Amino acid sequence: MAAPFSSTTSVRSIFRLHPNTTKSFLSPSDCFQKGFNCVKCHSSNVNVYSWSSAANYGSLRHVTVKLSGKPVVVKRVGIVRCATIEEIEAEKSSIEKDARARMEKTIETVRSNFNSIRTGRANPAILDKVEVEYYGTPVSLKSIAQISTPDASSLLIQPFDKSSLKVIEKALVTSDLGMTPNNDGEVIRMSLPQLTTERRKELSKVVAKQAEEGKVAVRNIRRDALKAYEKLEKEKKLSEDNVKDLSSDLQKLTDEYMKKIDTLFKQKEKELLKV
């Protein structure tokens, strides 16, 4: 897991001094050596940067110390509001929750797609993606009709509004389910023909493609979360080590959802190829 943040890190990481000012952090006492010559920097003047902070604000001052006189404040580099630990943790937590929620939604989409592909047994879920033009508006079949399975090889569709029987029948005929609806004026019955070996293999390829699309979606979610972490690093809210730890956690989450997709795929493939 990522290492906890410290207030020191979140504040001090705001500033990055120019490489030429490295010596300027010598204290006056370091330079008062034998008379008026600075042994360490060989200068009669010493630049000192002082740092102070209060609450979540920081201030950096540039002080020139004359060895023969009193210190003089030359320049205040700046005052900046630093992100608090709570704010950083909230942003990090938000990224994690969003990634997990999106991955979970991807799993549900993959599961729904698998359910819409029929196997050897009747399942109302195979009609989930069927849309009907109902009074000029496309709606899902299951929202305007009750779907049941009177036996293992047939489906019974009973519309809530009998006037929609014909549009439902039309939608079923034009679907790619490979079944012929039987409209008796009251309900629609559909018998599932036995799947041939060739058809089972074709559907297995479709399922494999849907599984890969789900994995691509999960990888894209990981990419988006990683970009969000890198943005926090650029804003000096996270250190490089923090981002590495969080990236590792994110990869574990990604692997977890990849395995879930693999499990769903293997279950569906087994159903399809089972004769």
Q: Is residue 135 part of a domain?
A: yes
- CATH number of the domain within which 152 lies: 3.30.1360.40
Considering the domain architecture, whether residues 183 and 243 belong to the same structural domain is answered as no
Considering the domain architecture, whether residues 137 and 104 belong to the same structural domain is answered as no
Q: Is residue 208 part of a domain?
A: yes
User: pLDDT 10s per residue in the chain (275 long)?
Assistant: 444 433 333 333 333 334 444 333 333 444 433 333 444 445 555 555 554 444 444 445 555 555 455 555 445 555 444 557 777 788 888 899 999 999 999 999 999 888 888 776 778 888 888 899 988 889 999 899 999 988 878 899 999 998 999 999 999 888 877 778 899 889 999 888 777 888 888 889 999 999 999 999 999 999 999 999 999 888 888 888 888 888 999 999 999 999 999 999 999 998 887 75
Q: Which two tokens stand for residue 50?
A: 């002082």
Query: Per residue in 93-150, pLDDT tens?
Result: 889 999 999 999 999 999 988 888 877 677 888 888 889 998 888 999 989 999 998 8
Considering the domain architecture, whether residues 204 and 178 belong to the same structural domain is answered as no
How many CB atoms neighbour CB 160 within 10 A?
9
Q: Is residue 154 part of a domain?
A: yes
Nearest CA to 207 out of 270, 139, 134 is that of: 270
Task: Give the end of a domain, one of 142, 171, 191.
Answer: 191
Q: Which domain holds residue 239?
A: 85-116+196-273
Distance CA 136, CA 138 (A): 7
CB 191 within 8 A of CB 153: yes
Considering the domain architecture, whether residues 205 and 264 belong to the same structural domain is answered as yes
Task: Give the end of a domain, one of 191, 216, 233.
Answer: 191
Q: Is residue 256 part of a domain?
A: yes
CA torsion sign for 175, 176, 177, 178 is positive
How many domains does the chain divide into? 2
Task: Give the end of a domain, one of 175, 191, 207.
Answer: 191
What lies within 8 Å, CB to CB, of 265 at 6+ separation is 114, 207, 208, 211
- CATH number of the domain within which 249 lies: 1.10.132.20
Q: Is residue 93 part of a domain?
A: yes
Considering the domain architecture, whether residues 233 and 136 belong to the same structural domain is answered as no
Considering the domain architecture, whether residues 134 and 249 belong to the same structural domain is answered as no
Q: Is residue 142 part of a domain?
A: yes
pTM: predicted TM-score of the whole model, two decimal places = 0.57
Give the bridge partners for 216, in sequence order: none
pLDDT score at 23: 37
CA 206 to chain centre: 26
pLDDT score at 129: 83
